[in-house]
Amino acid sequence: MRKRTLGATGIEVSEVALGTWGLSGDGYGPVEEKDQDAVITRALALGVTLFETADSYGGGEMEKRLGRLLPKDETVRVATKIGTDTASTPARKRFEAESLKAAAERSRERLGRDAIDVLLLHNPSTEAIKRGEATQALAELCEKGIAKTWGVSVGSADGAAEAVAVGAPVIELAFNAFHLRELSRVSADVKEKNIGILARSVLSYGLLCGSWPTTHSFESGDHRAERWDDHELRRRVMQLNALRPSVLGDFTSMRMVALRYVLAEPLVSSAVLGPRKVVQLDQLVRDAGKDGNYFPGGVRDAIDVRVRVAGVKT
């Protein structure tokens, strides 16, 4: 597994990270505990050194699982997100300083680590970032040794820009061949300030694997059933034709093309992937390739052109 440095933090991470939202059972439906353990253990065996989670995943159970299965030394890094109060009904965002400090201590205890490697605000509003209370609280936690570095997991281009403005050393954002807006908005600053970028939604929740018919539907408990109505899903599946010409020669699947599109971006420190089964994880690690030559010259540019022609609002 190739390694990259997480911006100016100096923390070395695997270029493929294991994201645990889907694995927790929260996003796509239940996952058996033996499968959760198997995926995490297999990721370690394959050389994955960055594990991404949140205090809200499985109501904290995913942090506990990682704490039990992962080594406690710096051969493995954990990025966790805080700021969601799951004790309230419905769950709500809490970015007051005292709430965040208490949440960080609970996460550290569940993870069983002396210090959390990367502590992220979990999708705060742009206004919450701008106010500064939350980001200052995380910076103070780093000063006290509760965390080694901090950042913001953002849900919009404005949020990404504000995270840059307040000096976040790490930003987690959505980035894939069909979704460029957050990284595009801050790319110049990311390069100049050497901000660590964690790219999530690499496969756009499975869409970019190219395996769905236009009539595809999702089961109850799968967040995608609410994310896309039938018309929107049909439109997006049709737009996948923009990627199909790249499935050629050594590029054996659209999944491989989509993953390498993200890995070929030099601003990305790690691509956060969310397999729920060992076979899926194995496929993704193979797709990343062994030599670091993600695409021949011009392939990414050609994809960008075809995506624009297809009418994708990236």
- pLDDT tens digits, residue range 247-268? 999 999 999 999 999 999 999 9
> Is position 222 within any domain?
no
Q: Over the stretch 34-87, which tens digit does the pLDDT of each residue have?
A: 999 999 999 999 999 999 999 999 999 999 999 999 999 999 999 999 999 877
Q: Apex CA 129: angle with CA 128 and CA 134, to 5°? A: 80
pTM exceeding the 0.85 threshold for the entire prediction: yes
Residue 110: give its domain's CATH number. Answer: 3.20.20.100
User: Residue 120 domain-assigned?
Assistant: yes
In a domain, 290, yes or no: yes
> Token digits for 233?
């899903």
Is there a domain that residue 236 lies in?
Answer: no
Position 244 in a domain: no
Domain assignment of residue 227, yes or no: no
**C-alpha 180 chain-centroid distance:** 14
Does the residue 160 lie in any domain?
yes
Structural domain containing residue 23: 3-205+254-303
SS3 per-residue string spanning 124-180: CCHHHHHHCHHHHHHHHHHHCCCEEEEEEECCCHHHHHHHHHCCCCEEEEECECCEC
* Other CB atoms within 10 Å distance of the CB of residue 249: 7
pLDDT tens digits, 87-131: 777 878 999 999 999 999 999 999 999 999 999 999 999 999 999
| Euclidean distance between CA atoms 24 and 185, whole angstroms | 31
Q: Regarding beta strands 77-82 and 84-85, do their DSSP bridges make them parallel or antiparallel, or are they unpaired?
A: unpaired
Is position 219 within any domain? no
Q: How many domains are there within the chain?
A: 1
Q: How confident is the model at residue 174 (pLDDT cuts 50, 70, 90)?
A: very high
What confidence tier does 163 reach under pLDDT thresholds 50, 70, 90?
very high
